[in-house]
Amino acid sequence: MRDYWVPLWAYKSVGFYYRQLVRYYRRFPADQIRVYLFEDLAAKPEDVLRGVFGFLGVSENIKGDFFARRDVSGVTRSEYLSQLIKNPGALKSAFQHIVPQDLRFKITERVKDWKLGKELMPDDVRQQLIADYHDDIVKLEGLIGRDLPAWYEGNGAKNDKQRHA
């Protein structure tokens, strides 16, 4: 931030969700605010979408491919496959003439998902982040009225929180 980078790059500071949300709770009635968690969206996207529609008072009958994962990040497992998808070539050209566009898109997205592996966060970094976010998570649980046990994984912070409560 000192070097005038856009806030997008302030990953750690924007992860203090209580700090982010409490400003809204101070200005608006709680019944005008709805908080959805990524883990809920990942586990039950249809339920979350229905909840959003209900909260907004719009029809739940909207159709569309809302749940396809797009632009998934990761570490490539196959440079050859990456180049095959990115660059034009005879195989790709033939594929485009034989396979319908919507099916090509679905196949390409699946191949992209398959070719990406996840790089795991080092345990010491995870433990430090859990410790850094601990107090903010405790306040966030109170603010949104929900326990977030998975957010404490790995260092016993949840048990520590319960001992001090």
Q: Has residue 63 got a pLDDT over 80?
A: no
The least confident of 23-27, 116-120, 123-127, 149-153 is 116-120
**101 located within any domain:** yes
Query: For residue 158, how far is the Cα from the chain centroid?
Result: 22
Does residue 109 belong to any structural domain of this protein?
Answer: yes
Kindly tell me if the per-residue pLDDT of 106 is higher than 80.
no
On whether residue 106 sits in a domain, the answer given is yes
* pLDDT at position 95 over 80: no
116 — phi, psi (to 5°)?
-100, 130
Residue 164 DSSP label: H
CA distance 65 to 86: 24
Query: Does any domain span residue 92?
Result: yes
Q: Report the sign of the C-alpha dihedral through residues 63, 66, 67, 69, in that order.
A: positive
Q: What is the pLDDT of residue 144?
A: 96
Compute the mean pLDDT over every residue in the chain, rounded to the nearest whole number.
78
Q: Which residue has the tokens 């929900």?
A: 146
Domain count, the chain: 1
97: left (phi over 0), alpha (psi -120 to 50) or beta: alpha
Please give the residue range of the domain that contains residue 87.
Answer: 75-117
